[in-house]
Amino acid sequence: MDVAAYMAERIPLIDRAIEARLDGLANGDEAIPSALAGAMRHLLFPGGKRLRPVMALAAAEAVGGPAAAALPLGVAVEFVHTYSLIHDDLPCMDDDDLRRGRPTVHKAFDEATAVLAGDALLTEAFAVLADGAEESEASLRLAVVELLSRSSGALGLVGGQVDDLAFEAAGSGSAGTRAARLASIHARKTAALFRASIEGGATLAGADPGKRAALARFAQDVGIGFQIADDLLDADSGEAASILRLQGIDDAKNGAEALLGRALGEIEGWGEAAEPLRALARFAIRRER
């Protein structure tokens, strides 16, 4: 399957939905401040790969539903992901000046506006999921709200970021202990949002509990594999990531491939409808950039 062609078809759907949401905030009867609107948009356009929202759409298709069923989640997940990048870049976190080849939000605007833009994107994510739901799908939306909140909150992304900051500051402990802590950080900081995207997309398409559980396991392995792939790409920058200092490049590559194989095993036999999701998993873990 041509994963690039699939993404090229799906990304415009997501971009239009994001654009419509932002336009509603900036130009509605109670328009938000222009500086806030600009800061919220800064990292969304031009955006990244949109991998998580595209996976949400692919998961809906994998369980026999329409991609459009997962579109509200796609927007919500991209808002959460972008909020996390804005906050990660802040001086009190990673203190980065550039993101996606552009000044980070706190550099392009100011630190306070960046914090508030991240806050606005996070809360707007849940408004997207709450808005426009038919009565027949309200319970599905509620389940996805719970999933996304757990994945992005203290038990997921936020808790993972706290432990990540502490992990880098500590810099000690046995290799085994540090490897276990790092795996836990990756599971919460990265894989949790993949799970919200993939399991959530399938949920909105009406997946049964068995398929939802299989996709939760699939997403966990893909998310951790994706983070290892990121670490491998960073190895060329002269700042070898923690996983590589603990495992080495070859062991990390083998570990990522093992995670991919296990993930694909979860949806083996699901037929052609699941091929986009399988292709996206391969892309996430084997990508070169």
pLDDT of residue 35: 96
Of 237 and 181, which is predicted with more confidence?
181
pLDDT of residue 169: 64
Confidence of residue 164 (pLDDT cuts 50, 70, 90): confident
Give the residue-averaged pLDDT of 278-283.
98
pLDDT of residue 250: 86
Confidence of residue 28 (pLDDT cuts 50, 70, 90): confident
Confidence of residue 168 (pLDDT cuts 50, 70, 90): low
Give the residue-averaged pLDDT of 12-21.
97
pLDDT of residue 176: 64
Percent of the chain with pLDDT over 90: 74
pTM: 0.93
Does the structure show a pLDDT above 60 at 230? yes
pLDDT of residue 243: 61
pLDDT of residue 240: 47
What the chain holds in terms of domains, given with CATH numbers, is 3-286 (1.10.600.10)
pLDDT tens digits for range 179-215? 778 888 889 989 999 999 999 999 999 999 999 999 9
pLDDT tens digits for range 66-114? 999 999 999 999 999 999 999 999 999 989 999 988 999 999 999 999 9
Work out the mean pLDDT of the chain and round it to a whole number.
91
CA distance 70 to 267: 19
pLDDT of residue 236: 60
Phi-psi label, residue 2: left if phi above 0, alpha if psi -120 to 50, beta otherwise: beta
